[in-house]
Structure 1
Amino acid sequence: MEHQPWKRIELKAFGGPEELHTVLQAELPEPGPGEVRVKVLTAGTGFTDTIIRQGQYVDVKDKPPFVLGYDWFGVVDAIGEGVSGFVPGDPVADMSVIGGYTQYLCVAADRLVKAPAGLDPAAAVCMILSYTTAYQMLTRECTLKPGDSILVHAAGGAVGTALLELGSEMGLKVYGTASSAKHPLLTELGAEPIDYRNEDFVDVLMRKTDGRGVDAVFDTIGGKNWSRSYRCLAFGGKLVAFGALQVTTGEERVPALLWGFAKLLVLWRILPDGRKTSFYNIHTRRQKHPEEFKADVETLFSMLAAGRLSPVVAQRRPLEDAAAVHREIDVGAIAGKVVLDCWAG
């Protein structure tokens, strides 16, 4: 059966967005035993992709050239030998870590998460990395109840906006740090914004909580910021770190980050102040608890199908715009998540 050439985005070498190139493929990949071929409809983009592009993501051992793309949503296109439970046309998703910036791929069937029919592909892909990260931090890393309060850093980003929406859905009081340009978005999502560039978020938060602090802080900024976030915790509260943004931007040196990890994972845990700390990594957690990952993505798909979630899709861009999107991510110009529409144009 004849078919048109198809596209994928390859990273030719670790470095800047200029290393991303569109490559045409003549032959469709054939699924092996236990695999299915997927027609990818949408691929997520985000800061994690840029870290992988730079060669700084420890969970990726592959060397370029390879295809970027941490998460994707698509439909089953062909089924390999020994696969049951799927038929062509089934909507499916996966967090592949790499490989998602493409129109077709083959994947082990046991990795796939089925989705309800009729989901908007752009909204659906947001559920995988961004919303599952937020959901697991809120529900599996912490024990929170309606009326509790949280602080979210980088609250205008893809995971940040997911934390705001899910936090509001859970009945939490939510504070978020972001640049002033993103404050209207934070307010729309039910959060009280703090301008981290022109305000001391520790002073502001303690004033707003009458000196009590919050029940949880979610911090993707880096080691120095973790120390300040720790000061925002109420007795019994928990700091969940899940990234080191300022190391990749050059604002923080590796020794400062290592000292931050020493406090986060050792020193603060032995203090008798009732506060808790952890570091969250979605890839590591999925490897340890694959059944939880699948269950949580399915829960989020169900919430999306029921109209309970409205992810902030900043833009839908064609697959060929991947390099341009990365340039915008690198300078923090995006509020929410940019989705690559793999079949646009």
Structure 2
Amino acid sequence: MEIVLTGAGGPEKLRVSSGDAPMPGKGRVRVRVEASGVSFAEVQMLRRRYPMQPRFPFVPGYDLVGTVTELGPGVSGLRVGQRVAALTRTGAWRTHVVVPAATVVPVPASLDPGVAAAVVMNGVTAWQMVHQVARVRPGQTVLVHGAAGGVGTLLVQLARRAGARVLGTASASKHDLLRSLGVEPVDYRSGSVPAAVRALAPAGVSAVFDHVGGRNLADSYALLADGGVLISYGSAATLRDEGHWLTPYLGTVRRFAGWQLARLLGRGRGRRVAFYYVKPGPRFTEALTEVFALTEAGELNPPIAKRLPLENAAEALQLLLDGTTTGKIVLEA
């Protein structure tokens, strides 16, 4: 079984198909999928707003956790029956997938597959941004936009674990969750977010993690303290855009180039900006291994908003569109 996105529109454009993955070729493995995450990337793909997404029709699914069922020629270091995770970008919403053996990451046997799936893309994204991009240190104050989301809830936990004070934007209904995570909540639907953040951190913040993009980036940059960093890792604002998907990203590149030039000329108060994009490779494997260890030890707890059968993928995307969930939605095959 596989879930096929047939065209642009809403969740009704998803179809359940009997298709499945073939046998693995050289250097590849076949995996029976146990759980796959649902992300905002798939919401953008519905609207044809995600960078370089495949042409319709295609199978979505950014990541997966499952069990190896077949080894292709030349594969070593893995065994049939082993639980692994993989970052696929698309194609994970199937009962079976074929992926390069070099890209899979072993999953601790004690981790529930749904919990493990909730930290594959989201956990690596949060871990790398906190530790490798922002390099968060004790005593700093950071701002996390969308702090109650799948990435946001992990970002705030990792930033707090690194010793930072965390401010987080979310709707008022999600503030109790944020407080339980040690976050000082800011309601993005009521009043001015920049004014509310300045009231809490008059000197500015050391880092802003911005998944919104678009015009929100200017506000995020203005909230930085001297030497602070703005990390753009999403483009939720593009759902409201019209025209070619690339247009808003060109505007962001121009804006970032201006800020980088100001920094080089000594006019940016030492502030810097960075794009972040999760991708497979040795650094992904290293980060996910660390994230799994933290999750297994109970030091990182991904809130799971809902677990749904794979065939209910349309319902999962509608929940994300409604904006009422906190944490991660997981599809289970």
TM-score, length basis structure 2: 0.93
8 Å Cα contact 1:38/1:77 also seen in 2:
yes
Question: Whole-Å Cα distance in 1 between the matches of residues 214 and 17 of structure 2?
Answer: 39
Which of 131, 134, 146 is the matching residue for 1:154? 146
Question: Whole-Å Cα distance in 2 between the matches of residues 76 and 306 of structure 1?
Answer: 25
Q: What residue in structure 1 maps to residue 284 of structure 2?
A: 293
Which of 197, 217, 237 is the matching residue for 2:208? 217
Question: Whole-Å Cα distance in 2 between the matches of residues 281 and 59 of structure 1?
Answer: 13
Pairwise CA RMSD of aligned residues? 1.9
Deviations 1:72-119 (A, max 9, x none): 111111111111111111110111000111111111111111122121
Per the alignment, do residues 205 and 104 of structure 1 end up closer, same or farther by CA in structure 2, a change over 3 Å counting? same
Q: What residue in structure 2 maps to residue 4 of structure 1?
A: none
Question: Whole-Å Cα distance in 2 between the matches of residues 107 and 232 of structure 1?
Answer: 42
Offset at 1:265? 3.0
8 Å Cα contact 1:223/1:261 also seen in 2:
no
Q: What residue in structure 2 maps to residue 82 of structure 1?
A: 74
Per the alignment, do residues 255 and 12 of structure 1 end up closer, same or farther by CA in structure 2, a change over 3 Å counting? closer
Q: What residue in structure 1 maps to residue 134 of structure 2?
A: 142
Question: Whole-Å Cα distance in 1 between the matches of residues 246 and 70 of structure 2?
Answer: 45
Which of 267, 275, 289 is the matching residue for 2:271? 275
Q: What amino acid sits opposite 1:336 in the alignment?
A: G
Q: What residue in structure 2 maps to residue 205 of structure 1?
A: 197
Q: What residue in structure 2 maps to residue 43 of structure 1?
A: 36
8 Å Cα contact 1:224/1:256 also seen in 2:
no
8 Å Cα contact 2:28/2:98 also seen in 1:
yes
Which of 225, 235, 247 is the matching residue for 2:226? 235
Question: Whole-Å Cα distance in 2 between the matches of residues 266 and 132 of structure 1?
Answer: 29
Q: What residue in structure 1 maps to residue 3 of structure 2?
A: 9
Question: Whole-Å Cα distance in 1 between the matches of residues 315 and 11 of structure 2?
Answer: 7
- Asked if 1:24 is matched to 2:18, the reply is yes
Q: What amino acid sits opposite 1:218 in the alignment?
A: F
Per the alignment, do residues 187 and 110 of structure 1 end up closer, same or farther by CA in structure 2, a change over 3 Å counting? same
Which of 41, 59, 62 is the matching residue for 1:67? 59
Per the alignment, do residues 43 and 275 of structure 1 end up closer, same or farther by CA in structure 2, a change over 3 Å counting? same
Tell me the SS of whatever aligns to 1:339: strand
Deviations 1:132-179 (A, max 9, x none): 111111111112211211100111111111111111121210000111
When structure 1 is superposed on structure 2, of 273-282 and 41-50 the one drifting more is 273-282
- Asked if 1:175 is matched to 2:167, the reply is yes
Percent identity over the alignment?
36
Deviations 1:44-83 (A, max 9, x none): 00101111232222232x2222211001111111111111
Q: What amino acid sits opposite 2:156 in the alignment?
A: L
- Asked if 1:105 is matched to 2:101, the reply is no
Question: Whole-Å Cα distance in 2 between the matches of residues 263 and 339 of structure 1?
Answer: 35
Q: What amino acid sits opposite 2:302 in the alignment?
A: P
Which of 88, 94, 110 is the matching residue for 1:96? 88
Offset at 1:255? 6.3
Question: What is the number of residues matched between the two proteins?
Answer: 328
Q: What amino acid sits opposite 1:335 in the alignment?
A: T
8 Å Cα contact 2:259/2:273 also seen in 1:
no
**Structure 1 unpaired stretches of 5+:** 1-6
8 Å Cα contact 2:11/2:314 also seen in 1:
yes
8 Å Cα contact 2:154/2:300 also seen in 1:
no
**Structure 2 unpaired stretches of 5+:** none
Q: What amino acid sits opposite 2:323 in the alignment?
A: G
Deviations 1:248-272 (A, max 9, x none): 1349998666444322233354242
Deviations 1:296-342 (A, max 9, x none): 01110111111211101001011111011111212212211100011
